[in-house]
Amino acid sequence: MTEAFPLPTLHRSPSGLMLEDLALADIAAQFGTPTYVYSRAALTAAFESYRHALGARPALVCCAVKANSNLGVLSIFARLGAGFDIVSGGELARVLAAGGDAGRIVFSGVGKTRAEIRQALIVGIRCFNVESAAELDRLNEIAGQLGQRAPIALRVNPDVDPKTHPYISTGLKNNKFGVAFADAFALYQRAATLPHLSIRGIACHIGSQLLDGAPVVEAATLVLRLVDQLAAAGIRLDHIDLGGGLGIRYRDETPPTVADYLAPLLQLFEGRHEELCFEPGRSLTGNAGLLLTRIEYLKPGAEKNFAIVDAAMNDLARPALYDAWHDAVAVTTRDLQLQKYDIVGPICESGDFLARARELAVAEGDLLALLSAGAYGMSMSSNYNTRPRAAELIVDGAAVHLVRQRETIESLFALEQVLN
């Protein structure tokens, strides 16, 4: 049986699993483990699938930086002409360092600080996606101090159920994101009276890992109605930002293709003048990366067998955080009986698991690839248990680029001080 991997450039050869033209075993020998490995071809293909589906329509694809904020990854998207969706001053600095165009940055987030707003105004970002009335006032004030007009969109909360995990659902009434749909019209009218704001658009983002495009179409329909009401009141918008959220296959999910996801939206917007904007994160990077880890110990038990690996919840938090599934694939095949293992890390928490009850034919020292780890993997990692963060690599054909060195232990406490 040939294995069908969610990472399109991953394949099996006599020398084990290969990403593009490189053997993962060779990569592990050269760079050690745990290591995040991304495929340039897969990153590029994911971005191009959006551009291809959007065709000639004026549209901007803004990569959600929080899903994967590595400079090497961002630089690939920047070179492809992407925009970026940021949620902090740190992400703004990353995009600029990666060669991204400030004029294609949208700034989301409920807690933008004065310093972050100032920084974004000075470099000239494309738009602030404003999430509260108080933020409108703050933007107006700071833009005034700088002698500028801040470009804004209101992030509205259409109260549509995206039918995804409650932690990653963001468009319902009871969560902290966006402004209530019913308040949006009045807020636009107020924004129009503020002298240092320039109203540009409207934004919404209803959740993540969406496996059905219908809730986004429903949200877009509500947004369009509001856009038309605003136009009738003399407030004309230039762009409509429909956020990110398209899901990927981790296990056996069947998300729509980018083309199928966008088709009903493009139909809804046919003939309209507004530029469309999307903020995909997971669907650009999720299935373009894997986490390579080595088995330290096999620990058979009466109830369960454990495969204890050198990656842990500090490297990949999603299983512990959302009970998420990542495929775990042995890099080399062995002629052994399949056994069921929980794949766990060395961290002192029972929640430190990466996968549960997986059938594997493995021995101590073998390599495992945890798939679909390119989004919300490294970007959510921590140093818990004083574990240096993993290295990050980008494979490009037969070449490999180290795009983040493995952290050193000294660097983990370099900012700390012993008391005497």
Ligand X SMILES: *Cc1c(COP(=O)(O)O)cnc(C)c1O
Which residues contribute to the site for ligand X (CB under 6 A)? Answer: 64, 66-67, 85, 108, 205, 208, 243-245, 279-283, 375
Q: The tokens 């373009």 sit on which residue? A: 288
- Secondary structure E strands in 300-408: 306-309, 328-330, 339-344, 353-360, 367-370, 391-396, 399-404
Residue whose CB is less far from ligand X, 204 or 328: 204
| Among 244, 341, 343, residue whose Cα is nearest residue 286 | 244
Q: How far is the CB of 336 from ligand X (least distance, A)?
A: 37
Write down the least CB distance from residue 68 to ligand X, Å.
Answer: 9
- Nearer to ligand X (CB atom), residue 20 or residue 241: 241
Nearer to ligand X, 201 or 345 (CB): 201
Tell the burial category of 197 from Cβ atoms under 10 Å away from its Cβ (0-12, 13-18, 19+): buried
Decide whether 276 or 329 has the Cβ nearer to ligand X. 276
Q: Sheet of 22-23: strands edge to edge? A: 10-13, 16-19, 22-23
CB of 82 to ligand X, least distance (A): 13
| Nearer CB in complex with ligand X: 43/308 | 43
Q: Is-contact 178 129, C-beta < 8 A?
A: no
Least distance to ligand X, CB of residue 66, Å: 6
Q: Name the residues annotated as catalytic.
A: 348
Helix or strand or coil: residue 210?
strand
Burial class (CB within 10 angstroms; exposed 0-12, middle 13-18, buried 19+) of 128: buried
Q: Token pair for residue 74? A: 């961002």
Closest CB 189 distance from ligand X, rounded Å: 24
- Is the distance from CB of 402 to CB of 391 less than 8 angstroms? yes
Least CB distance from residue 176 to ligand X, whole Å? Answer: 11
Work out how close the CB of 88 gets to ligand X at its nearest, in angstroms, rounded to a whole number.
11
Residues 152 and 212: their CA atoms lie apart, in Å, by 29
Cβ distance to ligand X smaller for residue 94 or 205: 205
Alpha helices in 233-277 (DSSP H): 258-268
Maximum C-alpha span of the chain: 73
Please report which helix (H) or strand (E) contains residue 141, including its range: helix 133-145
Name residue, tokens 């959220």.
Answer: 245
The helix/strand/coil state of 403 is strand
Distance between CA atoms of 420 and 402, rounded to whole angstroms? 40
Pairing mode, strands 367-370 and 179-180: unpaired
Please identify, using beta-carbon distances, which residue of 67 and 290 lies nearer to ligand X: 67
